[in-house]
Amino acid sequence: MKALIDTNVIVDVLAKREPFFADSALVLDHAERGDYIAMVCATTITTIFYLVRREYGSEATVERIKDLTAICGIAPVNRSVIDSALHSGFADFEDAVLHHSAVLAGADCIVTRNVADFRQSSLLVYSPTQFLAALGQE
């Protein structure tokens, strides 16, 4: 299985946000063990830097991003992703970009805390808890 992990799940882990940290961390742990192929959208990396740097500083944030990219592949954002997102019908443009980046990268699903934001998705969409259950059923 190939899963694109939404920005909010990654930030939950890096910022240790409760009550979301435990399941989100397990999602990444399973990726690190090779139970599935994890990806993040290219825009997620810049968003993470912006959000997490405020708490940990630039140097520590760069180290966290290096750790993340050792575990997760990067789903590209190019003109076709942007064009598709602009014409997608998603209520949130950022979610549309993430979705179309996942499609381009060949993802089977998206893991997000905001499942309802991806109602327009052509991919399966799981919360971290749902995704962990789906992994257990494989």
Asked if residue 76 has a cis previous peptide bond (ω within 30° of 0), the answer is no
pLDDT digits (tens, 9 = 90+) for 59-80: 999 999 999 999 999 999 999 9
Q: Could you tell me the residue range of the domain that residue 87 belongs to?
A: 2-137
Report the CATH number at residue 116: 3.40.50.1010
Integer Cα distance of 99 and 79 in angstroms: 14
- What is the model's pLDDT at position 103? 97
Return mean pLDDT, the chain: 94
Determine the Cα angle at 40 with ends 65 and 15, to 5°: 45
Q: CB neighbours of 96 closer than 8 A, spacing ≥ 6?
A: 84, 85, 86, 88, 90, 120
* Beta pairing partners, 73: 39
Counting the structural domains of the chain, the total is: 1
pLDDT digits (tens, 9 = 90+) for 22-40: 999 999 999 999 999 999 9
What is this structure's pTM?
0.93
pLDDT digits (tens, 9 = 90+) for 39-64: 999 999 999 999 888 888 999 999 99
- What is the model's pLDDT at position 138? 56
